Amino acid sequence: MTTYLLERAWVDGRVLDDVLVEIDGGRFTSVTSVGSTRDSRRFSGVATAEKRGNTRLTGDPNDATPLPGLTIPGLANCHSHAFHRALRGRTQRDRGTFWTWRDQMYDVAARLDPDTYLELATATYREMAAAGITCVGEFHYLHHQPDGTPYDDPNAMGKVLIEAARRAGIRITLLDTCYLSSGFGKPPEGPQVRFSDGDVDAWVDRVNAIGPWEHAHIGGAYHSVRAVPLNQMKRYTTAPLHIHLSEQVAENDACLAEYGLTPTQVFAEAGHLTENNTLVHATHLTDDDIRLIGETRTYSCFCPTTERDLGDGVGPSRELHDAGSRLTLGSDSHAVIDLFEEMRAVELDERLATQQRGHWDAAELLEAGTRHDSLGWADAGRIAVGARADLVTIATDSVRTAGTGADEQTAVFAAVAEDVIQVVADGHVVFRADDRAQLGRDLEAVIGRLWR
Ligand SMILES: [Zn+2]
């Protein structure tokens, strides 16, 4: 058993002082406020010192490892393409569009094999761990050899990602992605032939062979309404199921021309707007789309740092939330791996789009950043008895966070990934601040080899 005394911690929607947590078997077995927060006795979700008789607390605060700073639950990165990390600083150099960016992304995709992808993904997931991310949703479509031939193990690339997450010490939900066409009715071409299984039945057969892991869930994804025909998309579902949706106006226009339906309506028609599933981006929506998504409680995964890098636009995050959709966040193309930045960008982008402040508060955004349920891990994302023991500790005395109150405003509106000083995932320490310098050297070496 491990015991930590958290100087400040975000527990059940508020920051408390001196929270004692006990961890056994990778889960919290006790969470007790032993501090001086005025209202702690009124707080129902955590045992106060006076209520210790009602808990299984056996530790003594004097024996606990102190964790100075502000500790929050593990962050969930709900949308990732690990290999895009190699594009950072390279695709931003020239003018261009989403579509010219995509050509550069395909160039990297064409260079990777299972050995190089294991190196790159491990370094990328270590960077995530260093940023306080304890679970990643990997939207994985780089399945086959460059000419489209399956590897001897047709799931070699997916298994590499699962192994990379294990090495980094984080959980993964492999969102194995079905990709069948280049555009509406067009066969895959060039690098895209690596992505395709031919038809939806072959995709399902391959995914069913991946097998279970302790730290990994297997989910599915339809790449987009461009990449999977409606009649194929209708035939299979799985949970969780994710899709890129309405990221670009051009996709909406082509979808309307093909089906007379918006992408949201196509996904609804296929039967996939459900409370288990996630729409990634959801940027360009009609009022009817928003109503459909909200009524079905489908998740919306926003990736603001990627969406601004690609010039996608600003999606209607608050309208979606008010309609009933639940917000999650992802770093997607990894132009930045910093969920603190993603959290505040949701609010700050709304301000730019509407010329008004105050759409989201810090507590709501912290909840969005720590939601693991859309990845199938409903037992993570909170510091509570029985939950998976993930702890992300932020320095409250850095040049960015000093003087900001050491509360949820600090986490959402002041901190950056660099302020993370320790990360515990499933009860194990997976990152300490001292590891950061070596991690930088490792990323440089791995990505440098890829471009040589
Ligand atoms: Zn994506």
pLDDT digits (tens, 9 = 90+) for 162-202: 999 999 999 999 999 999 999 998 999 988 999 999 999 99
Alpha carbon of 243 to ligand 1 centroid (Å):
9
How many angstroms separate the alpha carbon of residue 295 from the centre of ligand 1? 24
CB of 375 closer than 8 Å to CB of 78: yes
What is the whole-number distance in angstroms between the Cα of residue 270 and the centre of ligand 1?
21
Q: Could you read off the pLDDT tens digit of each residue along the chain, which spans 452 residues?
A: 999 999 999 999 999 999 999 999 999 999 999 975 444 433 334 444 444 333 344 567 788 999 999 999 999 999 999 999 999 988 776 667 777 778 888 888 888 999 999 999 999 999 999 999 999 999 999 999 999 999 999 999 999 999 999 999 999 999 999 999 999 989 999 889 999 999 999 999 999 999 889 999 999 999 999 999 999 999 998 889 999 999 999 999 999 999 999 999 999 999 999 999 999 999 999 999 999 999 999 999 999 999 998 889 999 999 999 999 999 999 999 999 999 999 999 999 999 999 999 999 999 999 999 999 999 999 999 999 999 999 999 999 999 999 999 999 999 999 999 999 999 999 999 999 999 999 999 999 999 998 88
* Alpha carbon of residue 127 to chain centroid: 13
Distance 334 CA to ligand 1 centre (A): 10
Which of 413, 411, 417, 410 shows the shortest CA–CA distance to 439? 417
Residue 247 CB partners (closer than 8 Å, separation 6+):
98, 224, 280, 281, 283, 284, 307, 310, 312
Rounded distance from Cα 263 to ligand 1 centre (Å): 16
Question: What pLDDT shows up at residue 211?
Answer: 82
CA proximity to 223, closest of 245, 239, 207: 245
Architecture of the 75-375 domain: Alpha-Beta Barrel (3.20)
Three-state secondary structure call for residue 222? strand
Give 55 Cα–ligand 1 centroid separation in angstroms.
Answer: 43
Dmax over CA atoms of the chain, in Å, equals 68
Neighbours of ion ligand 1 (CB under 5 A): 332
pTM over 0.75: yes
Q: Does domain 2-72+391-425 bear CATH number 2.30.40?
A: yes
Secondary structure letter of residue 387 according to DSSP: S
Sheet holding 27-33, edge to edge: 47-48, 27-33, 14-24, 2-11, 65-72, 391-394, 420-425, 428-432
Q: Do domains 2-72+391-425 and 75-375 have the same CATH topology?
A: no
Q: How do residues 150-169 score in pLDDT, each as one tens digit?
A: 999 999 999 999 999 999 99
Determine the distance separating the centroid of ligand 1 and the alpha carbon of 308, expressed in angstroms. 13
Confidence at residue 327, expressed as pLDDT on a 0 to 100 scale = 98
Output the CA 33–ligand 1 centroid distance in Å: 40
Domain locations in the chain as residue ranges: 2-72+391-425, 75-375
Look-up: residue for tokens 């984080």?
A: 170
The helix-helix angle for 114-130 and 436-451 (nearest 10°) equals: 150
Going along 155-233, which residue ranges are E strands? 171-178, 216-222
Question: What SS3 class is residue 20?
Answer: strand
Q: Do residues 342 and 90 make contact, with C-beta atoms less than 8 angstroms apart?
A: no
363 Cα–ligand 1 center, Å: 26
Q: How far is the CA of 288 from the centre of ligand 1 (A)?
A: 24
Q: Are 88 and 451 in contact (CB under 8 A)?
A: no
Centre of ligand 1 to C-alpha 404, Å, is 33
- Spacing, Cα 5 to ligand 1 middle (Å): 38
Q: How far is CA 375 from CA 125, 164, 325, in A?
A: 16, 18, 15
Measuring CA to CA, which residue among 89, 109, 133, 250 is closest to residue 184?
250
Q: How far is the CA of 364 from the centre of ligand 1 (A)?
A: 23
For residue 282, report the distance from its CA to the centre of ligand 1, in Å.
11
For residue 272, the model assigns a pLDDT of 98
- CB neighbours of residue 213 within 10 Å: 16
Closest listed residue to residue 398, CA positions, set 410, 390, 386, 387: 410
Q: Would you give the end-to-end CA distance of the chain in angstroms?
A: 47
How many angstroms is it from 311 CA to the middle of ligand 1? Answer: 14
* 2 Cα: distance to centroid of ligand 1 (angstroms): 37
Looking up tokens 């990328």 gives: 124
Q: Which residues of 90-118 are buried (b: 16+ CB within 10 A; e: fewer)?
A: ebeeeeeeeeebeebbeebbebbeeebbb
- Residue pLDDT, tens place only, 296-310: 999 999 999 999 988
Q: How far is the CA of 139 from the centre of ligand 1 (A)?
A: 7
DSSP 375: G
Q: How far is the CA of 249 from the centre of ligand 1 (A)?
A: 16
| Nearest to 301, CA basis, from 275, 334, 332 | 332
Report how far ligand 1's centroid is from the alpha carbon of 83 (Å). 11
The angle subtended at Cα 175 by Cα 321 and Cα 199, nearest 5°, is 115
**Ligand 1 centre from 81 Cα, in Å?**
6
Strand runs (DSSP E) across 73-119, as ranges? 75-80
15 phi/psi in degrees, rounded to 5:
-95, 130
- The pLDDT, as a whole number, for residue 36 is 53
Q: Report pLDDT for 212.
A: 83
CA distance 6 to 396: 13
Q: Do 339 and 329 form a contact (C-beta atoms < 8 A)? A: yes
Other residues' Cβ atoms within 10 Å of the Cβ of residue 41: 12
Cis peptide leading into 188, omega within 30 of 0?
A: no
CA angle 164, 371, 20 (to 5 degrees): 90
